[in-house]
Amino acid sequence: MNEFEFINQYLKPSNERDDTLLLGIGDDAATLKLNTHQFWHISTDMLIADRHFFSNESPENIAYKSLAVNFSDMAAMGAWPKWLLLSVAFPQLDKDWLDIFFNTFNQVLASYHVKLIGGDTTQGPITTLNITIIGESDRLGLQRNDAQIGDDIWVTGQIGLAAAALYHHWDKINLHEDEFKICEQARVHPTIRVDFMFQARNLIHAAQDISDGLLQDLGHILTASQVGAKVNLETIPSIQALKKYEYYNDWVLNGGDDYEIIFTAPKNNQEKLVSLAREASVPLHKIGEVTKNTECILMCNDKIVSYSKKGFDHFEEETTVY
Ligand code: ADP
Ligand code: MG
């Protein structure tokens, strides 16, 4: 049984909605309606040492990333993060480590005016961080099931860099020093996209953050919306220098840990989106379009190319972890 079969079999059946709960299991966050112009979006993400980060990684990096992966779910909903709860398990309480960790943690929270409102603390065999984040907006979130035929498909930032850095760590390849520096920065410090996504929320149909691989995460949007897509491989933004490596296609199509946002939007909104992105200094690229045919077709130089869609699955036997 894989991760998604588990969610579908055991969790989704209990997914009943009510007048307040407009969106439950199956999206980047659940959505609660407080009143006609106030909605809360709630999501949780867990990070475990040597699964989501190297245990000898710097505490600054761990603190930043634990927040960035949660903020990216808010970005994917077009919500503004407001409050969070932090649950931790530590083998021991190491004051030096904690001083550095919370210095960064609090700096990121302060820069977004997000308040820590609770959590839980326990001793445990490995460092585990679980964050629940609550964001707000004036509308229902950007749901995965809202992609419309004819929409353009966009991605923020650059894709595949974190995966390339991981391959370097695992000794599968040897990136040049300057390439490694850029890719490692993307792995430990994914850019938070909530500002752009919040501003663009009314121009977008469906959205999701890319945590498990571009094709797999786009696949969630396509399945939920019962549509297909045509994606142009050469338009997926990445770093030119990575193209020479044999794993390049795998990094951009299936690599995870990007925490960029993939979204669909009506063609008519292109100009507004591009200008918003420019103002916010967010790299934004169109990589394809939503089609009626429910397949996801990958094109390269105007030819259909075959690919293996194998994004990240926590219960896949061959999954390599940190
Ligand atoms: P994300 O990558 O945005 O965190 P996932 O793909 O991990 O989303 O999860 C898909 C959906 O399943 C989400 O709506 C998530 O809240 C839900 N989900 C995952 N694990 C659990 C769980 N243990 N209990 C309840 N819901 C879960
Ligand atoms: Mg998500």
DSSP 204-265: -S-EEEESS-HHHHHHHHHHHHT-EEEEEGGGS---GGGGGSTTHHHHHHH-----EEEEEE
Helix H or strand E segment including 276 = helix 270-279
Q: From the CA of 25, how far away is ligand 1's center (Å)?
A: 6
Distance from C-alpha of 135 to C-alpha of 39, rounded to nearest angstrom: 8
Residue range(s) of every CATH 3.90.650.10 domain in the chain? 144-304
Instruction: Verify whether ligand 1 is closer than 6 Å to residue 258 (CB atom).
Output: no
Look at residues 220, 178, 188, 175 and name the one whose alpha carbon lies nearest to residue 76: 220
pTM of the model as a whole? 0.94
Is the CATH number of domain 144-304 3.30.450.20? no
CATH 3.30.1330.10 residue window(s) in the chain = 16-137
Indicate which residue's Cα is closest to atom 20 of ligand 1. Answer: 7
User: Is CATH 3.90.1150.140 the classification given to domain 16-137?
Assistant: no
Nearest-CA residue for ligand 1 atom 8 is 28
Atom 17, ligand 1: residue with shortest CA distance = 25
Residue 87, Cβ density class (10 Å: 0-12 exposed, 13-18 middle, ≥19 buried): middle
Establish whether residue 28 lines the binding site of ligand 1, counting it when its CB lies within 6 angstroms of any ligand atom: yes
b/e burial code for range 18-38 (CB count within 10 A of at least 16 → b): eeeebbbebbbbbbbbeeeee
Listed residue (294, 283, 210, 273) closest to 28, CA to CA: 210
* Both structure tokens of 228: 């297909």
- Joined together, the tokens standing for residue 3 give 């991760």
Per-residue pLDDT of the chain (322 residues; tens, 9 = 90+): 988 889 989 988 777 889 999 999 989 999 999 999 999 999 999 999 999 999 999 999 999 999 999 999 999 999 999 999 999 999 999 999 999 999 999 999 999 999 999 999 999 999 999 999 999 999 999 999 999 999 999 999 999 999 999 999 999 999 999 999 999 999 999 999 999 999 999 999 999 999 999 999 999 999 999 999 999 999 999 999 999 999 999 999 999 899 999 999 999 999 999 999 999 999 999 999 999 998 999 999 899 998 876 766 676 655 556 6
> Which pLDDT score is estimated for 307?
83
120's CB contacts (< 8 A; 6+ apart) are: 87, 88
| Confidence at residue 317, expressed as pLDDT on a 0 to 100 scale | 57
